[in-house]
Amino acid sequence: MTTANRTVQFKIYRYDPDRDAKPYMQDISVEIEVTDRKLLDAMVRLKVKDDSLSFRRSCREGVCGSDAMNINGKNGLACLTDMSSFPPGKPIVLRPLPGLPVIRDLVVDMTQFFKQYHSIKPYLVNNDPLPERERLQSPAEREELNGLYECILCACCSTACPSFWWNPDKFVGPAGLLAAYRFIADTRDQATSERLDNLEDPYRLFRCHSIMNCVDVCPKNLNPTKAIGKIKELMLQRAI
């Protein structure tokens, strides 16, 4: 491990509709310290150097999902990307998440992404009279939700999916489908049949062709493809 400060080169997608006629790639470098472990640390230094660079960030520990972007061609969270993971001597290329409209620089308009999330009715449906205490759920039943409920809605997966790029208004996308399965898998939820009906559609669910880009980029190591497979499995069970 080096102990000295070093200079890092960046190539960053820049676009401010207030000022720029069209987007361009900005070459910029910044000196980082040894303690700047993560890409986000370096970006905060970049922001000090050029305060017009816009990007979202909040928790800086990979749970809020704000700082998703396209890093050297692959979607990821800046706060979970190690500076040491970049090949030395080559500029780090940062672009906004692909497939969503750019508001400015690295900030994308996520309306469509959240619309799809909302479209799967992301809340527990249970019409039984409310018990006075908690509803019971065995540890094994609860375990079914592991790998599903941890999603941080960063949109790395959906914006890495060609089916979502092509039909963002019609294909729910990996994040939304993961959430859909999170409720289907919950023993407390009673709307399984409606949820399956809601997804039985050539676009909403069946535009997934299992190419697994979502699995490849998920910063929380979740597996939307597996969840989508389980939804299809349930539909099949229901149909035969």
- 130 belongs to the binding site for another protein (CB under 8 A): yes
Nearer to another protein, 73 or 139 (CB): 139
> Closest approach of Cβ 125 to another protein, in Å?
8
Tokens of 74: 């692959």
Grouping H, G, I as helix, E, B as strand and the rest as coil, residue 229 is helix
Selected from 11, 25, 28, 60, the binder of another protein by CB under 8 A is: 60
> Closest approach of Cβ 223 to another protein, in Å?
15
Interacting residues with another protein between 14 and 33 (CB under 8 A): 16-19
Tokens of 237: 């069970």
Spatial CA neighbour of 92 closest among 14, 7, 11: 11
Applying CB under 8 A, the span of 6-14, 21-29, 93-101, 180-188 interacting with another protein comes to 180-188
DSSP 3-state helix, strand, coil percentages of the chain (rounded to 5)?
Answer: 35, 15, 50
Interacting residues with another protein between 144 and 173 (CB under 8 A): 145, 149-150, 152-153, 166-167, 169-170
Whole-angstrom distance, CA of residue 164 vs CA of residue 159: 7
Interacting residues with another protein between 71 and 100 (CB under 8 A): 80
Tokens of 111: 């309306």
- 202 belongs to the binding site for another protein (CB under 8 A): yes
Tell me if 205 sits within 8 A of 149, measured CB to CB. no
